[in-house]
C-alpha cells in the first residue's frame, strides 16, 4: 500500500531540506499538514502541491 501521509522527517528527506526549512514552509502555509493527536503529518498530495506552487513562483 502506498503511503497517504508521511512524517515531517520523511517529507524533509524527500525534499532534501532540513526539518527547520520544512517547518518554515508549514508556518508560511506553503505546505499543508494534518495533526493526528500530537503528530503532525504531511499528506503526499500536499507535498506535490507545494512543489508545484514553488515551481510556479520560481
Residue in the block written with cell 506552487:
53
pLDDT band at 4; cut points 50, 70, 90: very high
DSSP, res 29: T
pLDDT band at 57; cut points 50, 70, 90: confident
Per the structure block, which three cell numbers stand in for 51? Answer: 512543489
Per-domain residue ranges for the chain? Answer: 5-57
Render pLDDT for 9-51 as a digit per residue (tens, 0 to 9).
Answer: 999 999 999 999 999 999 999 999 999 999 999 999 999 999 9
The angle at the Cα of 43, spanning 26 to 50, to the nearest 5 degrees, equals: 50
Closest by CA position to 44, among listed 56, 55, 34 = 34
pLDDT at 1 over 80: no
Per the structure block, which three cell numbers stand in for 58? Answer: 520560481
What pLDDT is recorded for position 2?
A: 78
Amino acid at each position: 500500500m502506498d503511503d497517504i501521509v508521511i512524517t515531517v522527517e520523511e517529507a524533509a528527506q524527500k525534499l532534501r531540506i532540513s526539518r527547520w526549512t520544512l517547518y518554515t514552509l508549514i508556518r508560511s502555509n506553503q505546505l499543508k499538514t494534518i495533526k493526528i493527536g500530537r503528530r503532525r503529518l504531511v499528506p503526499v498530495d500536499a507535498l506535490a502541491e507545494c512543489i508545484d506552487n514553488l515551481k510556479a513562483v520560481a
